[in-house]
Amino acid sequence: MATLNITYQGLSADYALELDPGVSDRDVKRIAVEVVRSGSVPGLHLPTLADDAFEHFVVDRLQNGLRLYVRPKVPFGA
């Protein structure tokens, strides 16, 4: 079981899911859009979220892929 943490518009929330370890960043971002739209992420429900909302976001993988973070890029690091 992996945890996907999504940060969007100053809000951050976790979503637990089964995920193949080799899933691409593009697929992680697509999954993030789907779960946020559906209301499956507590505290982060945006039914009209655009398909490309996370296009310029970063996907960080920690704990051997058991923790994934979808977050905005920051000017002071990668």
Distance separating alpha carbons of residues 64 and 21, to the nearest angstrom = 8
Tally of domains in the chain: 1
pLDDT value at 77 more than 70: no
Residue 21 in domain: yes
Residue pLDDT, tens place only, 7-50? 999 999 999 999 987 899 999 999 999 999 999 999 999 999 99
Looking at residue 74, its pLDDT comes to: 84
With a threshold of 0.85, does the pTM exceed it?
A: yes
Residue 77 in domain: no
Looking at residue 35, its pLDDT comes to: 97
Residue 54 in domain: yes
Residue 37 in domain: yes
Residue 43 in domain: yes
Give the range of the structural domain holding residue 63, as residue numbers without chain letter. Answer: 2-72
Residue 78 in domain: no
Residue 64 in domain: yes
The pLDDT-based confidence of 63 (bands split at 50, 70, 90) is confident
